[in-house]
Amino acid sequence: MSDHTTQHITIDASPERCFELAADYASYADWAGDIKESKVLTTDELGRGSEVEFRAAAMGRSTHYVLRYNYGSNPLRISWRLMRGDVMARLDGEYEFAAVDGDPNTTQVTYDLNVDLAVPLPGFVKRRAETKIIHTALDELKQRVESQP
């Protein structure tokens, strides 16, 4: 059974800037604490990453996985689906970046995630892993975006 979570955060930058940095998969190892390496394998017709391989720290070991990214009709939405991985059976989710009403330079980020591990683990271990993923996806993204000119 998959664990599902939806979280929100406000970032002091435009939705376009947030999207730009979130879609810069090649730089994830520079700012996402658990990501040790990321490599764009394929791109779409607009040059955006469509398949990306990651090496990450997970539960005291190194894990590898490949995500397929989709952009759809909303220009400020990124979704992904796990193509293959050695620890996770499912890692699907999406970012959506929307301007805060009345302030086009402030963004409400919605992060949606479905995770299913390949091996059964106690609930507290799964929750700790989920918390780390969300921290990277939201708090570390916020730090990265707000620290960039």
| Alpha-carbon gap, residue 75 to 79, rounded angstroms | 11
The predicted-structure confidence for 53-90, as pLDDT tens digits, reads as follows 999 987 677 889 999 999 988 889 999 999 999 888 88
pTM here is 0.87
> Which CATH number does 3-147 carry?
3.30.530.20
pLDDT at position 128, please? 64
Most confident of 30-34, 79-83, 114-118: 79-83
Angle at 77 between CA 89 and CA 133, to 5 degrees: 40
Yes or no: say if 114 and 3 are a contact pair by the CB < 8 Å rule: yes
Token pair belonging to 29: 């190892």
Closest residue by Cα to residue 25 from 73, 76, 67: 67
pLDDT at position 1, please? 45
| Alpha-carbon gap, residue 51 to 20, rounded angstroms | 17
Whole-number average pLDDT of the chain? 88
Yes or no: say if 65 and 72 are a contact pair by the CB < 8 Å rule: no
Token pair belonging to 24: 């810069």
Q: Is the dihedral of CA 133, 41, 55, 31 positive or negative?
A: negative
- What distance separates the 2 farthest-apart alpha carbons in the chain? 46
Closest residue by Cα to residue 81 from 62, 94, 96, 72: 94
